[in-house]
Amino acid sequence: MVIMDKNTSKIEDFIISHVEEHSSDLVRFIAEQFGFSRQRAHAYVAREIKKGKIIKMGQTISSRYFLVGGKHVEFDFKIEPGLAEDRVWSTYVKPMILLYPNNIQRICNYGFTEIFNNAIDHSEGTSIFTDIEIKDDKINMVIMDNGIGIFQKIYKALNLSSIREAILHLSKGKFTTDPPNHTGEGIFFTSRMFDSFSILSDDMFYTFRNRDWFLSSEKREDFGMGTYIRMVISINSTRTTQEIFDQFSNQEIGFGKTIVAVALSADPDDPHISRSQAKRLLVGLEKFRQIVLDFKGVNSVGQAFVDEVFRVFKNEHPNIEIQYFNANEEVEAMIKRGLATRN
């Protein structure tokens, strides 16, 4: 029990002012500053928690304290029945975002709940760790699980030949390992709402940023098995969730447009020459009405590859429109030659 005295208000204000910079040693710091026992300092801190001004995460010596509506919060949850992404959002994340424009709130809400729910439903892990920080006018959200890994799960579900292929299918949208309960749209739209969206899994680091994609091999010392996802958005962004939905869907058919990174359909040193490569690229694309092929990183294509994509697939799905961009001169020439043959 805290004994109320003339210094109580001063102590409370001091706690609120210093909780963020002393997240891991708040009780000790308060005791030292005011010259009283840790037990009494803990009672003051507990009072601020009860008033809803501070969040406590962890137990005993591993306890950390965060300011409700502050600039930084970390939390770790066991994946168990009853864990709900909307409640986690409302309790720990939403208070931080309320100061910012409505479009930023909506983007953060959509992205956080989609990714956190994916970890609950798909990761096959036991825990989810989240780190959210607002710094340099940017909101940084990190969500990690200790499960099978998102790329590995797709790789196994589709019996694929490489992890790159798993990233390819994930990036298309409309792919899910649990069709009865999920649409597979969440990561596709989230990756385009944020300024930067990154996934690290199986030592492969995939990033979608400024309408462009990047892939590299990478390891993090603080991350082992599972999936690491990082989302970043400027608090000054004018982007809206509706704007992104409108770019890739309409009222008649819903999510009908996708952009596909062709380079992910083959190993980096392999030219895109065969029909088999084209067929792997086209898996699942019959679900869309408009396909935009991104040839970034593709140095050459073969006649069979082009024919499979632009003639065979098109003849099988005449209502699907196929566009392309980022083709170099050699690829452009081969595609035009194939289109001329088709006509």
pLDDT tens-digit map of 25-57: 999 999 999 888 889 998 999 999 989 899 888
Cα–Cα dist 156/302, whole Å: 29
pLDDT, position 281: 92
Residue 293 near residue 326 (C-beta atoms within 8 A): no
Residues contacting 151, CB < 8 A, separation 6+: 163, 166, 167, 170, 199, 201, 202, 204
Which of the four pLDDT bands, split at 50, 70 and 90, describes residue 236? very high
Confidence of residue 159 (pLDDT cuts 50, 70, 90): confident
Spatial separation of the C-alpha atoms in residues 316 and 342, rounded to whole Å: 13
**317: three-class secondary structure by DSSP:** coil
Structural domain 256-342, CATH architecture: 2-Layer Sandwich (3.30)
Count of helix runs (H) and strand runs (E) in the chain: 14, 14
Taking the CA of residue 297 as centre, how many other CA atoms within 13 Å lie in the half-sphere pointing to its CB?
18
Average pLDDT on 333-342 reads: 85
- Domain 72-243 - what CATH class? alpha beta
- Residue 179: per-residue pLDDT: 62
Q: What pLDDT, on a 0 to 100 scale, did the predictor assign at position 267?
A: 79
Look up residue 45 and give its DSSP letter.
H
| pTM of the predicted model as reported, rounded to 2 decimal places | 0.86
Residue 2, pLDDT above cutoff 80: no
33-36: Cβ within 8 A, 24+ apart: 34/7
Residues in the chain: 343
Nearest-Å Rg of the Cα atoms of the chain is 25
| Band of pLDDT at residue 183, cut at 50, 70 and 90 | low
Pairwise pLDDT comparison (211 vs 142), residue with the higher score: 142
At residue 296, what are phi and psi to the nearest 5 degrees?
A: -55, 130
As to burial, measured by CB atoms within 10 angstroms (0-12 exposed, 13-18 middle, 19+ buried), residue 150 is: buried
Q: What pLDDT score was predicted for residue 252?
A: 54
Domain boundaries, the chain: 8-65, 72-243, 256-342
Q: What is the pLDDT of residue 177?
A: 67
What pLDDT, on the 0 to 100 scale, is given for residue 234? 98
Q: Please, what's the b/e burial string for 256-280 (b: 16 or more CB within 10 A of its CB; e: otherwise)?
A: bbbbbbbbbbbeeeeebbeeebbeb
Distance, in Å, from the CA atom of 104 to the CA atom of 237, rounded to the nearest integer, reads: 7
If you write DSSP's letter for every residue of 138-202 in order, what string do you get? EEEEEEEE-SS-HHHHHHHHTT-S-HHHHHHHHHHSS--S-TTT--S-HHHHHHHHSSEEEEEET
Structure tokens given for 93:
């994340």
For the segment 259-304, what is each residue's pLDDT rounded down to a tens digit?
999 999 887 778 899 999 999 899 989 999 999 999 999 999 999 9
Chain position carrying tokens 């979608």? 208
Q: Which residues contact 3 (CB under 8 A, 6 or more apart)?
A: none
State the architecture of 8-65 in CATH terms: Orthogonal Bundle (1.10)
Q: Please report how many Cα atoms fall inside a 13 Å half-sphere around the Cα of residue 134, on the Cβ side.
A: 19
**Angle formed by the axes of helices 26-34 and 38-50, nearest 10°:** 120
Q: Are 65 and 54 in contact (CB under 8 A)?
A: yes
Mean pLDDT for 191-200 is 96
- Span 135-150, pLDDT tens digits: 999 999 999 999 999 9
pLDDT for 89-137, tens place per residue?
A: 999 999 999 999 999 999 999 999 999 999 999 999 999 999 999 999 9
d(CA 139, CA 133): 6
pLDDT attached to residue 271: 82
